[in-house]
Amino acid sequence: MIIAIFVILTLLLLPDLYIYGMFLRNIPLVWKFLFFAPSVVALLSILSVKFFGMNHTVTTIFLFVLLCFVLPKIIFTCISLIAKLFGIWSISTYNVTTIIGIVVASAVSIMGLYGLTIGWKHLESKHVDLYFDNLPDAFDGYKIAHLSDLHVGSYGDKTQFIQRIVDQVNKENPDIVVFTGDIVNTEPEELMPFTQTLSHLRAKDGVFSVLGNHDYCLYGDRSRWSNVREGGLKVAEIERSMGWNVLMNKSTTVERDSAKIAIAGVENTGKPPFPKIGNLQAAVEGITRYDTTTCDKNTFTILLSHDPSHWRMEILPKTDIPLTLSGHTHAAQLKIGKWSPVRWLYKEWGGLYQSDNQQLYISEGIGGTLPFRFGANPQIIFITLHKRVTK
């Protein structure tokens, strides 16, 4: 922790000292105070978390200061130093380089301010049509409301935004609601202010959910739990009290006109350092074969699995499940056009992917442990299933 604090101090102070020494020595004292104040606030926020634990308000303040002040200062300093390094800092280019640095740093600051105030609550509904050869005729037109990564701890005890989500889902009158994990940040108790609101989600066939890596509460006070799954069991208990059907390595079926499809849910399984607790074989037992390239296609199966890396890791090579729904990546909560830095970590990170007759749809999620989103807006995915007509 001492090393981490030293690194943070360096990142906070060096850009401030550089900019002050190069440009701001002669400004009035009050402006000097305002210039250094964001770094002081950021440092105090870090120390507060260190000695008093995570706090929603402190985290929000730190993120605001980091994105709107500290990071732009670092970027400006880097542009200035690079210009000096390549020898292009001269009397003739001095003003141009300074202006470029100010413009880029200001753009980052505006981006941070937007993401913290508007972007992380700019809720979008996305409608998707998916086609399958083996979908029962009775389920042609079946509508799924796909939610993921609520991270309700980031909203404190304010329920207005969650109420908007519930209202939007219910307005669409889906056949089923599925939630693909990460309903909390660090503790099961974060969910308590929202249970009444979330219990009002409505769908003809009910609400189904799985646990994500955060739902095992591994990032908070782990001393509370005797094993890695205990926090997750508490989260699942609260979800069940809301009327949700929590699928922990198991499956169930829904019916239409004597036809059935299976809804299977697996506990979190993905790449390290995230917990690998799922048991796909148990989740699909009785509805499809496992560990074979030739699976039973009589039962159309929808699998809920939080981490999309599970798809290539086990689902593709060992099953023939036609549709997997995931979340987890959040598109890094930062997307410019169709590009997101999360693509450096995940081959599949947002939207629809297909391999032969198997499809994966990844929600970019709704919330996040940090209340910031730019470009990757909170989203509700409405998926309509269709029977593919072959000529």
Q: Which CATH number do you get for residue 136?
A: 3.60.21.10
pLDDT given at position 296: 58
Look at phi and psi of residue 337 and say left if phi exceeds 0, alpha if psi is from -120 to 50, else beta.
left
Q: Are residues 329 and 194 in the same domain?
A: yes
pLDDT digits (tens, 9 = 90+) for 196-221: 999 999 999 999 999 999 999 988 77
pLDDT given at position 294: 61
Q: Are residues 98 and 144 in the same domain?
A: no
pLDDT given at position 88: 55
DSSP characters for 197-259? HHTT---TT-EEE---GGGGT-SS-GGG-SSTTHHHHHHHHHHHHTT-EE-SSEEEEEEETTE
| Predicted TM-score (pTM) of this structure | 0.90
Q: Are residues 203 and 312 in the same domain?
A: yes
Q: Are residues 141 and 283 in the same domain?
A: yes
Please identify, among 83, 117, 151, the residue that sits at the C-terminal boundary of a domain: 117
Q: What is the residue range of 158's domain?
A: 123-387
Q: Are residues 112 and 132 in the same domain?
A: no
Please identify, among 100, 117, 134, the residue that sits at the C-terminal boundary of a domain: 117
In this prediction, the residues of the chain whose per-residue pLDDT falls under 50 are 91
Q: Are residues 241 and 222 in the same domain?
A: yes
CA dist 137 and 54 (Å) reads 51
Q: Are residues 40 and 180 in the same domain?
A: no
Q: Are residues 294 and 341 in the same domain?
A: yes
Q: Are residues 235 and 363 in the same domain?
A: yes
Q: Are residues 229 and 185 in the same domain?
A: yes
Tokens, residue 111:
């981006």
Tokens, residue 330:
């959040």
Please identify, among 117, 152, 177, the residue that sits at the C-terminal boundary of a domain: 117
Core vs surface per residue 300-322: b (16+ CB within 10 A) or e? bbbbbbbbbbbbebbbbebbbbb
Q: Give me the number of domains the chain comprises.
A: 2
Q: Are residues 146 and 190 in the same domain?
A: yes
Q: Are residues 21 and 102 in the same domain?
A: yes
